[in-house]
Amino acid sequence: MVTAVQPRTHTTASALTTVRLPSLRHFGPQWYATVMGTAIVATAGAGLPVDVPGLRTACTAVWALSAAMLAVVLTARAAHWVHHRDQARAHLVDPAIAPFYGCLAMALLAVGTGTLTVGQDAIGRRAAVVTAATLFGAGTLIGLAAAVVVPYLMVVRRRIGPATASPVWLLPVVPPMVSASLGPLLVPHLPAGQWREALLLASYAMFGISLLATLIILPVIFSRLIRHGALPLALTPSLLLVLGPLGQSTTAVNKLADAAPGAIDAPYAQGFGAFAVIYGVPVLGFALLWLVLAAALVARAARRGMPFTMSWWAFTFPVGTCVTGAEGLAHHTGLVALEWLAVGLYVLLVTAWAVTGFRTLRGLFGGTLLAASRQR
């Protein structure tokens, strides 16, 4: 009996190893999008210009969820690099996957922003500032590295034709814009004078880095759509990624305007305030135009059988940046229409997050999501 049981136990253990390790092999950097999409629900909800009982408590709970998700995904990705280094290196030179390394930086920064916005209700102000500053430093360094390294590898390691242009190409260049939104929140916690001014202007410089890179990439994406038609069905949700730099830049200029009076001399501080509206209104207008165009193409793809993939997370964070952008403009202009716009977009964000999150959990625990990843 003992001899019969031992081989069976060994076989079972081997089978478990075979099932678990290959699934981790396909756990790519796109999973950081789940953290970003969750964190923005908390941040955007806390800034809504309406008083909803229990909303801030709910946002704090969602922030805690995003922090836990960040820890889980970071651990899984570290294990991926340890056990499947060949696959991880292959991802770095794969033009379809490499841009998602920008999501690592944005996940850190999104959770950091949520920590200062609502997380301090749970962990205290001092701990929130230290945590947010740490995440800001790590996210900014990784984001700046991704903005250089990923495009470099795409240039020297692959010959990419115009027909392969994708909104995913924006992912490595958006992180500095997210840093430009979190940096101003940390400005008041620095000593007055040079330190505050340095962080304010550094955040403004990162705004410029991301904005100019976006202005280079956006025409290529639109040209690809016009010349080669709609994206493949599975990639259609990625069209919403264009909203990311648009909404995030609108958010950034408003946050910079809020922080400027305590960090820089009066003429420049007033200029930051004026620029927030002068820049933010037309850019948010274009974001709404793109949202309608992308929604029409997504509806078309859905009618043709668009499958569920991780690209559905593009329905969350980019839309969330438009919510925070509208909130900032509403604050600086006092326009009620912008307040209602923020509320309407937030309802869309929460709906997209709930549906995408449910489909992700079902695919993850059902084994179909990671199994499908092996074929993409």
At residue 371 the predicted structure's pLDDT band, cuts being 50, 70 and 90, is low
Could you read off the pLDDT of 60-97 as tens digits, one per residue? 999 999 999 999 999 999 988 888 888 888 888 787 88
37 pLDDT more than 50: yes
pLDDT confidence of residue 185 = 97
Question: Alpha-carbon distance 37 to 317, whole Å?
Answer: 4
Q: Which two tokens stand for residue 133?
A: 């500053």
| Prediction pTM value | 0.90
Per the prediction, the chain carries an average pLDDT of 90
Question: Alpha-carbon distance 236 to 232, whole Å?
Answer: 6
Q: What percent of the chain clears pLDDT 70, i.e. is strictly above it?
A: 92
With 0-12 / 13-18 / 19 or more C-beta atoms within 10 angstroms meaning exposed / middle / buried, residue 210 is buried
Greater pLDDT, 26 or 133 = 133
- HEC readout, the chain: CHHHHHHHHHHHHHHHHHHHHHHHHCCCHHHHHHHHHHHHHHHHHHCCCCCCCCHHHHHHHHHHHHHHHHHHHHHHHHHHHHHCHHHHHHHHCCCCCHHHHHHHHHHHHHHHHHHHHHHHHHHCHHHHHHHHHHHHHHHHHHHHHHHHHHHHHHHHHCCCCHHHCCHHHHCCCCHHHHHHHHHHHHHHHCCCCHHHHHHHHHHHHHHHHHHHHHHHHHHHHHHHHHHHCCCCHHHHHHHHHHHHHHHHHHHHHHHHHHHHHHCCCHHHHHHHHHHHHHHHHHHHHHHHHHHHHHHHHHHHHHHCCCCCCHHHHHHCHHHHHHHHHHHHHHHHHCCHHHHHHHHHHHHHHHHHHHHHHHHHHHHHHHCHHHHHHCCC
Rounded to an integer, the average pLDDT of 298-322 is 96
Cα separations (Å) of 30 from 5, 73, 350, 351?
A: 42, 10, 20, 21
Q: What percent of the chain clears pLDDT 90, i.e. is strictly above it?
A: 78
9 pLDDT more than 80: no
Could you read off the pLDDT of 346-369 as tens digits, one per residue? 999 999 999 999 999 998 888 777
> 308: which DSSP letter?
P
Could you read off the pLDDT of 186-222 as tens digits, one per residue? 999 999 999 999 999 999 999 999 999 999 999 999 9
At residue 3 the predicted structure's pLDDT band, cuts being 50, 70 and 90, is very low
Question: Alpha-carbon distance 203 to 140, whole Å?
Answer: 10
What amino acid is encoded at 157 in this protein?
Answer: R
